[in-house]
């Protein structure tokens, strides 16, 4: 008799557990809209931070395309993202920021594969990342 009374709990738990793949798929499909949330960029989404971060090399090559304010924002965002990407995973406690690291990695791979299809000699300018990290660390 007790088993029949508690069957609804088992049914509910089964339904709950089966909902996780759909929830996970929905979250993954909307990862661009996750909030970065780091100092200075508390309300920026992953996509907005990626755009700022990836504009850094363009801004260095073609500074005339950007206003002074845009240049400063791009440089601050690039420093923030680069610092985060260079933080050892063992020091990353935020699931959100671990997810952001994966997001940037995936976007870089996406960009590399699309640019290598257009121009096999093109590559991301990783030296810019190293320069910015060194500069930000020496400034601290």
| pLDDT tens track for 53-80 | 999 999 999 999 999 999 999 999 999 9
- Residue 129: is its pLDDT beyond 80? no
Q: What pLDDT, on a 0 to 100 scale, did the predictor assign at position 123?
A: 46
Q: Distance (Å, rounded) from C-alpha 54 to C-alpha 125?
A: 10
Between these two residues, 131 and 22, which has the higher pLDDT value?
Answer: 22
Q: To the nearest whole number, what is the mean pLDDT of the chain?
A: 79
Handedness of CA 17, 18, 19, 23 (dihedral sign): positive
Q: Distance (Å, rounded) from C-alpha 137 to C-alpha 108?
A: 24
| pLDDT tens track for 1-35 | 555 667 777 777 777 777 766 666 666 667 788 88
Between these two residues, 101 and 89, which has the higher pLDDT value?
Answer: 101
Which CA distances in Å does 87 have to 30, 59, 71, 117?
25, 25, 24, 31
């Amino acid at each position: 008799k007790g088993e029949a009374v508690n069957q609804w709990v088992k049914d509910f738990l089964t339904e709950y557990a089966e909902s996780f793949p759909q929830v996970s798929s929905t979250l993954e499909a909307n990862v661009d809209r996750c909030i970065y949330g780091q100092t200075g960029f508390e309300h920026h989404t992953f996509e907005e931070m990626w755009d700022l971060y990836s504009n850094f090399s363009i801004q260095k090559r073609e500074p005339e395309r950007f206003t002074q304010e845009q240049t400063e924002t791009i440089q601050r965002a690039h420093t923030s993202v680069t610092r985060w990407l260079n933080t050892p995973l063992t020091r990353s406690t935020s699931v959100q920021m671990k997810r952001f690291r994966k997001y940037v990695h995936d976007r870089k791979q996406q960009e590399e594969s699309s640019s290598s299809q257009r121009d096999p000699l093109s590559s991301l300018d990783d030296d810019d990342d190293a320069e910015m990290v060194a500069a930000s660390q020496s400034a601290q």
